[in-house]
């Protein structure tokens, strides 16, 4: 089979999995908002069942990466269907990341996440990385601490 045709088929398969996973995340979000833990558990189980198929689809797409990058930028720009599928998959992935983060926050508020699975404190400090850069300035000059480090 032609590498382009196989790539389109694999991207469509990945898109279907992403759409399915987004649906599960949306249902999980609704259940968490309605405090229905039974439905939340079933959404989580469905998400776990999709994970192996998602890993397999991702590996197939990784295998296509070399072919895609070997094409000249001009030739890639003519492959509209592939570009659209890549963009649509990326958009869905970003939506899933945002929704998963919201679901995680809802789980935290309800106390349903074990302490060992809590997110690191640095994730809640948006200026953490900037503070690290300031402290380790290449000129060796100690700079002032970031605003959230003063506390």
- Same domain, yes or no, for 47 and 90? yes
Q: What is the model's pLDDT at position 142?
A: 46
CA distance 105 to 101: 6
Nearest to 88, CA basis, from 2, 6, 1, 22: 22
- Same domain, yes or no, for 137 and 114? no
Is pLDDT of 144 > 70? no
CA distance 132 to 151: 16
- Same domain, yes or no, for 31 and 46? yes
- Same domain, yes or no, for 44 and 29? yes
Domains held by the chain: number:
2
* Residue % of the chain over a pLDDT of 70: 74
- Same domain, yes or no, for 50 and 65? yes
- Same domain, yes or no, for 147 and 76? no
CA distance 33 to 46: 18
Enclosing domain of residue 129: 120-151
- Same domain, yes or no, for 81 and 113? yes
**Contact by Cβ (8 Å): 132, 145:** no
- Same domain, yes or no, for 84 and 97? yes
**Which one is predicted more confidently, 50 or 41?**
50
- Same domain, yes or no, for 67 and 124? no
- Same domain, yes or no, for 106 and 64? yes
Q: What is the model's pLDDT at position 42?
A: 73
- Same domain, yes or no, for 25 and 74? yes
pLDDT tens digits, 85-120: 999 999 999 999 999 889 888 888 877 777 676 666
- Same domain, yes or no, for 101 and 125? no
Q: What is the model's pLDDT at position 18?
A: 93
């Amino acid at each position: 089979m032609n590498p382009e045709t196989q790539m389109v088929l694999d991207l469509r398969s990945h898109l279907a999995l992403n759409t399915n996973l987004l649906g599960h995340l949306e249902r999980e979000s609704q259940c968490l908002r309605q405090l229905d833990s039974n439905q939340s558990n079933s959404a989580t189980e469905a998400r776990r069942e999709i994970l192996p198929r998602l890993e397999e689809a991702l590996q197939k797409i990784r295998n296509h990466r070399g072919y895609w990058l070997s094409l000249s930028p001009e030739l890639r720009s003519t492959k509209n269907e592939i570009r659209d599928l890549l963009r649509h998959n990326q958009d869905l992935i970003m939506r899933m990341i945002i929704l998963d983060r919201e679901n995680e926050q809802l789980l935290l508020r309800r106390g349903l996440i074990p302490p060992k699975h809590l997110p690191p404190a640095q994730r809640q400090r948006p200026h953490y990385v900037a503070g690290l850069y300031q402290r380790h300035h290449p000129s060796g000059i100690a700079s002032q601490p970031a605003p959230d480090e003063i506390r």
